[in-house]
């Protein structure tokens, strides 16, 4: 821990670094709000859900299964599966805490972990100072939640055709997330194609007609991710030290 900085300075650094993240979150969440509106959520429900669920993929999955009439159990399992990577991020961050950091502070940091906040935190030298994370989260989370709420409001005010057009932007966002990795790694590209094909088959084949869309998504996510991890394990990186 860098004792040359006061707690206030560290907190303000978190706010400063969290501001551009918040702006990006707002734009993405606005598109998610359009989908949330189509799933039947009102602005208050969308705001609360986004404040408690800080992942675009997780929210997309939740709104999708809500729209399909999935059960609470299916929603919970789908959210757990899609957001499982945050367990690994939280574990990595826990190794950077000072031993004197309280459990309560650790839980608060874990609650506010996102891909971007994890990235700016893990690169900081020395021990993780919880106040830095709190500052970044204080800016990023409200922007994320407010973007969803305003997206729902916009979806309620705009004509149906415009809402449908804007909802396409969400699919563009996910393509923008997966295509860079697909271009760099042939295995990832192949797995994406396999996922599309299996998803199409699961939705069209009569044998799967008795299974809800939410359960199909859960099964496909677990099966494809597990098979990829077993068949194509990530190579271990040797420590240079």
In angstroms, rounded to a whole number, what is the distance separating the alpha carbons of residues 186 and 191?
9
Better pLDDT: 147 or 64: 147
pLDDT band at residue 162, thresholds of 50, 70 and 90? Answer: low
In angstroms, rounded to a whole number, what is the distance separating the alpha carbons of residues 166 and 160?
10
Task: Report the candidate in 55, 81, 84 with the shortest Cα–Cα distance to residue 222.
Answer: 81
pLDDT tens string 80-97: 877 877 887 888 788 888
Between 22-26, 129-133, 158-162, 217-221, the lowest mean confidence (pLDDT) is in 158-162
Whether residue 133 is predicted with pLDDT greater than 50 in this model: the reply is yes
Whether residue 63 is predicted with pLDDT greater than 60 in this model: the reply is yes
In angstroms, rounded to a whole number, what is the distance separating the alpha carbons of residues 12 and 19?
11
Between 26-35, 81-90, 158-167, 202-211, the lowest mean confidence (pLDDT) is in 158-167
Contact 50, 168 (CB under 8 A): no
pLDDT at 99: 82
**What would the mean pLDDT of 120-129 be, rounded to a whole number?**
83
Q: How would DSSP label each residue in 165-202? A: HHHHHHHHHHHHHHHHHHHH-HHHHHHHHHHHHHHHHH
User: Which residues lie closer than 8 Å to 181 by C-beta, 6 or more apart?
Assistant: 188
Better pLDDT: 236 or 6: 6
pLDDT tens string 5-20: 788 899 999 999 888 8
The Cβ-side half-sphere exposure at 236, using a 13 Å CA radius, reads 3
pLDDT at 239: 44
CA 21 to chain centre: 13
Alpha-carbon separation of residue 182 from 28, 176, 240 (angstroms): 21, 10, 28
In angstroms, rounded to a whole number, what is the distance separating the alpha carbons of residues 194 and 63?
23
Whether residue 47 is predicted with pLDDT greater than 90 in this model: the reply is yes
Cβ neighbours, 10 Å, residue 34: 25
């Amino acid at each position: 821990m860098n004792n040359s900085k006061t707690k206030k300075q560290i907190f303000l650094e978190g706010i400063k670094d969290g501001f551009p993240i918040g702006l990006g979150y707002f734009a993405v969440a606005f598109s998610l709000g359009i989908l949330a509106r189509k799933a039947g959520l009102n602005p208050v429900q969308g705001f609360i859900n986004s404040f408690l669920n800080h992942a675009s993929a997780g929210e997309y999955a939740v709104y999708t299964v809500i729209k399909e009439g999935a059960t609470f159990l299916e929603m919970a399992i789908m959210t757990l599966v899609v957001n499982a990577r945050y367990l690994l991020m939280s574990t990595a961050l826990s190794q950077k805490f000072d031993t004197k950091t309280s459990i309560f502070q650790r839980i608060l940091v874990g609650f506010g972990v996102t891909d971007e906040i994890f990235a700016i935190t893990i690169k900081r030298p020395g021990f993780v100072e919880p106040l830095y994370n709190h500052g970044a989260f204080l800016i990023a989370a409200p922007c994320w939640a407010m973007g969803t709420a305003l997206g729902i409001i916009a979806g309620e005010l705009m004509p149906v055709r415009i809402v449908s057009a804007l909802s396409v932007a969400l699919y563009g966002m996910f393509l923008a997330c997966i295509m860079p990795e697909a271009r760099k790694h042939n295995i990832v590209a192949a797995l994406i194609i396999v996922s599309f094909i299996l998803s199409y088959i699961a939705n069209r084949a009569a044998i799967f007609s008795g299974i809800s869309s939410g359960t199909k998504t859960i099964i496909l996510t677990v099966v494809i991710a597990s098979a990829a991890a077993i068949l194509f394990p990530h190579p271990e990186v040797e420590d240079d030290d």
